[in-house]
Structure 1
Amino acid sequence: MAKLKTSLIIATAALAIAACSKKRPEVLPPAPVQNTGDTGPTGPVTPTDGAITPGSDADFKRSVTSNTVLFGLDQYDIDPAARTILDNQAQWLARYPNVRITIEGHCDERGTREYNLALGDRRANAAKNYLAARGVSATRMTTISYGSERPVATGSDDEAYAQNRRAVTIVLG
């Protein structure tokens, strides 16, 4: 009887531990789609003459100082350079009140996967909160953290690390 109780307790503990473990996804989500036109009833509408559609991601990238805010090592605070960039983005977003955006948080390759995902989330939310404080509706913005999974610069040096510590604003349409 005691052996049965002990076996049941061990089996229950093993099941509880197995149920709590989180497995890494086998496949990462696809990269964001670059929107080059307005969204119509049947999907994106791309101009046939190659012109940039007002309110599109291409228009955003052309019109703002930058779609990317950079951060210091292990930092997620909005510094004066980031404020200038985000103020410029907020002005553009004010002209297009129906445009939705996603803010991606990224990190360099140093740190654990979990740490980098959490830091990327804090970076994306810092940018989102700043834009919200400048009048951009929070309902128009979503955030996602990719941690170190999508570096913009390859290499393991300070220059590459600095480029990968970022939050990127993507216009969805």
Structure 2
Amino acid sequence: MSISMQKKAFAMVLSLGLVAGCSSTGETVQDDGYGTDVSAVDQAGGSTVYGGADDGGVSSSGLTEAEREEARMAAERAAEAAKRSVTTFYFDFDTSEIKPAAREVLIAHARYLAANPGQQVRLEGHADERGTKEYNLALGERRANAVQRFLIVNGATRGQLETVSYGEEKPEVMGSSESSWAQNRRVELIFK
């Protein structure tokens, strides 16, 4: 009974300390010079970044519509390129269903392939060590074919894609743990 009371008292003291620490003291803050030359948003609605004492800076309000559109397109291209840096896609145990998290990245790859018809890619399907060699070869092939179908539906052509299954023959990680198996259940995109 006394332990429960001690816990309640401790919680009250902790709560009061939190309230006291978050309260305002009413003191004014001295201007140390930082507030005079830094502005997050100017009155015209554009953001301004100042470079130092010369009062020179870059303001987005000074950009033309064409420059803003060009900057937006460059940002989109950079985001697509970042997505395409992911070339390995993992699967759950005993399935060839593409995970929802991989779909956006695969769409970026499909768009890239559609925009570059001469680009070739090999889809290598893999499985973990569980199951027979024949079953794992077939599972690796189903996984590679699932990725191939997804890429084609989203813009790639069949002529750009080649599928191959290695089954359990080329593990990414050696071992017989769930962590190792999860890394071995994959399809890798190899751009040529």
**Matching of residue 155 in structure 1 with residue 145 in structure 2:** no
> Letter of the aligned partner of 1:147 in structure 2?
G
SS in 2 for 1:143: strand
Q: Identity percentage over the alignment? A: 43
CA distance in 1, matches of 2:147, 2:116: 18
CA distance in 1, matches of 2:181, 2:167: 12
Moved >2 Å (runs of 4+): 60-63
Shift of 1:87: 1.0
Q: 1:112 to 1:69 in 2, by over 3 A?
A: same
Q: 1:77 to 1:63 in 2, by over 3 A?
A: closer
SS in 2 for 1:126: helix
Task: Flag structure 2 segments of 5+ consecutive residues without an equivalent.
Answer: 1-79
Q: 1:61 to 1:144 in 2, by over 3 A?
A: farther
**Matching of residue 165 in structure 1 with residue 185 in structure 2:** yes
Structure 1 range deviating more: 112-121 or 96-105: 96-105
**Matching of residue 141 in structure 1 with residue 164 in structure 2:** no
Structure 1 range deviating more: 82-91 or 67-76: 82-91
Structure with the largest fraction of helix? 2
Question: Residue 107 of structure 2 aligns with which residue?
Answer: 87
Aligned counterparts, 1:127-138, within 5 A: 127-138=147-158
Question: Residue 66 of structure 1 aligns with which residue?
Answer: 86
Larger radius of gyration: 2
CA distance in 1, matches of 2:177, 2:122: 28
Q: Any conservation in 1 of the 2:114–2:157 contact (CA below 8 Å)?
A: no
> Letter of the aligned partner of 1:86 in structure 2?
L
TM-score, normalised via structure 2 length: 0.56
Match of 2:144 among 105, 124, 132: 124
- What is the RMSD of the two structures over their aligned residues, measured on CA atoms? 1.8
Higher relative contact order (CA 8 A, sep 6+): 1
Task: Flag structure 1 segments of 5+ consecutive residues without an equivalent.
Answer: 1-59
Task: Deviation per CA, 1:31-62: give whole Å up to 9, x if none.
Answer: xxxxxxxxxxxxxxxxxxxxxxxxxxxxx997
Question: What is the total number of aligned residue pairs between the two structures?
Answer: 113
